[in-house]
Amino acid sequence: MGGDEMPAIRFTKGRARVYLKAINNWKKKTMSVEELSLEVGIYEDVIRDQLASFDPLIRIMVDVDVIALKPELEKYIAAKTVKRKTTRRKKPHPKYKSVVDLSILP
């Protein structure tokens, strides 16, 4: 890697939840990327790169309202959440009193 280029940081469901929590706790009507950065403690450039998949103009424009991306973040989290199947429990094995009982199978 040459120059001052930062490596790309993966955008995960956990990171989306962090952004969404900061947006939900915000009291004002609008929230800039700079304000989101100060709330979550992540560089503005990283946030801009990660949210560019929802709004490509976020990389260029300074005054983009991040609160407008709230529905897209919620959809992203819902799409990444997978319901786990409940596993069926097996019947418990019969208890043997000694090794002799083990050799005689029912």
- Band of residue 103 on the pLDDT scale cut at 50, 70, 90: low
Task: Record the pTM.
Answer: 0.69
pLDDT score for 24: 94
C-alpha 57/C-alpha 60 separation (Å) is 5
In order of their start, the domains of the chain are 13-80 (1.10.10)
For the purposes of burial, counting CB atoms within 10 Å of the CB of 43, is it exposed (0-12), middle (13-18) or buried (19 or more)? exposed
The answer for residues whose C-beta is within 8 angstroms of residue 30's C-beta and 6 or more apart is: 65, 67
Query: What CA–CA distance (Å, rounded) separates 88 from 90?
Result: 6
Residue 87: pLDDT band (50, 70, 90) is confident
Q: What is the pLDDT of residues 9-40, one digit of tens each?
A: 788 889 999 999 999 999 999 999 999 999 99
Query: What pLDDT, on the 0 to 100 scale, is given for residue 1?
Result: 44
CA atoms within 13 A on the CB side of 21: 8
The Cα-based distances of 55 to 10, 46, 48, 51 in angstroms read 17, 14, 9, 7
Query: Do 73 and 16 touch, CB atoms closer than 8 A?
Result: yes
Quote the mean pLDDT of the chain.
83
